[in-house]
Amino acid sequence: MKKIKDTAGEETGYREALQEIEKLLAKIEDPETSFDELSKDVRRATELVEYCRKQLRDYKDEIDKISQNN
């Protein structure tokens, strides 16, 4: 499965992407977050959500394929 890069440029998986989304949501909800940070964080969160959705679709397709073979 394709991985996404974290903020340090290292490849990360689904679970790590979810954890990063949770951290970003906390920052986004914080009224002290600057607009510049907010914009960057929303873009990153959107990228991560799209990645997670794709991973879930891929997992579902894989499970469906396995189920059909049995």
What are the residue ranges spanned by the domains of the chain? 4-69
Task: Please check whether residue 60 is in contact with residue 33, taking contact to mean a CB–CB distance below 8 angstroms.
Answer: no
What tokens appear for 49 in the block?
A: 């959500």
Assign 65 a pLDDT band (cuts: 50, 70, 90): very high
Distance CA 12, CA 61 (A): 21
* pTM for this model (two decimals): 0.80
Q: Which comes out higher in pLDDT, residue 34 or 7? A: 34
Average pLDDT over residues 24-46: 95
pLDDT on residue 69: 83
With CA atoms as reference, report the closest residue to 18 among 51, 60, 67, 66: 51
Q: Is pLDDT at 54 greater than 80 in this prediction?
A: yes
